[in-house]
Amino acid sequence: MSSPILKLIAQRIALGILLLLAISVLIFAGTQILPGDVAQAILGQSATPESLANLREQLGLNDPAYVRYFHWLGGVLTGDLGTAMSSGQDIATSIKSRLWNTLFLAFWAAIVAVPLAIILGLIAVRYRNGWVDKLISGLALASTSFPEFFIGYVLVYFFAVKWQIFPGISTVYEGMPFGERMQAIALPATALTLVVLAHMMRMTRAAILNVMQSAYVETAELKGLSAFNVIRKHAFPNAIAPIINVVMLNLAYLIVGVVVVEVIFVYPGMGQYLVDHVTKRDVPVVQAVGLIFAAVYISLNIIADIAAIVANPRLRHPK
């Protein structure tokens, strides 16, 4: 791998680390300026002033904000995410199974959405401006117009309530048989697939159409190659970099944007875990989940940047 590529990759990684550090400051600051009293929320309205003062001292709430931030950041860097105020459980231990559930759901949604989006994008380009292209683009536009909660409730109504094919509540547990787990995540995975499928398909179509205007594509067409071969051999490989970026952005969304879907289907993932503890004003949990979501999102964006850099022929074969 050439020096310019390695330099660009190192810059992207360094920028990602700095961005994550800046986001950690924003997350910590945002949780500190929330209205209300954490100690009061834990002990309830009947708590005495003495018990409130003791709990604030025990939780370190009387320390300056910058001291609490560096204490929290130091714990994160060593793998200690703290303890949940509402339950007293270790956050890292609680998050482990939740994160696995979210990744499992996002993985199967991506397995369906990514190849289907690329295939539909290729078909739309092959029959561009025809009725097939207009039908696919119209359905994609309609799909992106509906929010996640609407799609989720429609799926629940038809497939869980009316037809009773899949469960409306996606209950999963450790050691659950694979077949039962797949049946449990069928509706939330479908909802996530429909949410990201349209955007990936439209961006794939746009990226390939942009490449189709290039001179070498016109040359291939003049040589008598079929439209399908022109797209497959010349247009698609040269549009792979922007397509990778779009796919990675949507994969990031699948993981960090599952909050609404998980709440609708009561799925025991990171999103449901976050919402449960926001209502309890459990600041350490909110901070930990927010930072994990940010780290996942930034990491996938870095991977997308690196893939785009490596796929760029001008960088791989400099003059």
Question: Euclidean distance between the first and final Cα of the chain, in Å?
Answer: 15
Residue 192: Cβ-neighbour burial (10 angstroms; 0-12, 13-18, 19+): buried
Give the pLDDT score at 185: 94
289 within some domain: no
Does the pLDDT value for residue 315 go beyond 70? no
Identify residue 94 by its one-letter amino acid code.
S
Give the pLDDT score at 35: 65
Query: How open is the CA angle 179-181-186, to the nearest 5 degrees?
Result: 95
Which residue range(s) make up the domain with 234? 100-281+297-310
Give the pLDDT score at 179: 92
pLDDT, tens digit (0-9, with 9 covering 90-100), for 98-135: 999 999 999 999 999 999 998 998 888 888 888 988 99
Identify residue 290 by its one-letter amino acid code.
G
Instruction: Tell me which residue has tokens 């398909």.
Output: 201
| DSSP codes joined into one string, 45-83 | TT--HHHHHHHHHHHTTTS-HHHHHHHHHHHHHTT---B
Instruction: Return the structure tokens found at 315.
Output: 């960088």
pLDDT, tens digit (0-9, with 9 covering 90-100), for 263-302: 999 999 998 899 888 877 788 898 999 999 999 889 988 8
Which CA distances in Å does 161 have to 153, 164, 166, 319?
Answer: 10, 5, 9, 63
Q: What is the mean pLDDT of residues 146-160?
A: 90
Q: Give Cα 87 to chain centroid, integer Å.
A: 27
Does the pLDDT value for residue 140 go beyond 90? no
Name 225's Cβ contacts closer than 8 Å, sequence gap at least 6.
233, 234
Counting the structural domains of the chain, the total is 1
* Gap between the Cα atoms of 242 and 198, Å rounded: 16
Q: For the domain that residue 226 is a member of, what is the CATH number?
A: 1.10.3720.10
64 within some domain: no
202 within some domain: yes
78 within some domain: no
Q: What is the mean pLDDT of the chain?
A: 84
pLDDT band, residue 182 (cuts 50/70/90): very high
Does the pLDDT value for residue 230 go beyond 70? yes
Give the pLDDT score at 250: 86
More confident residue, 316 or 203: 203
Percent of the chain predicted with pLDDT > 70: 93
pLDDT band, residue 141 (cuts 50/70/90): confident
The DSSP output letter for 218 is H
244 within some domain: yes
123 within some domain: yes
Which CA distances in Å does 36 have to 33, 65, 240?
Answer: 9, 16, 49
83 within some domain: no
38 within some domain: no
Give the pLDDT score at 318: 56
Instruction: Return the structure tokens found at 299.
Output: 């990491």
Least confident piece of the model among 12-21, 55-64, 69-78, 205-214: 55-64
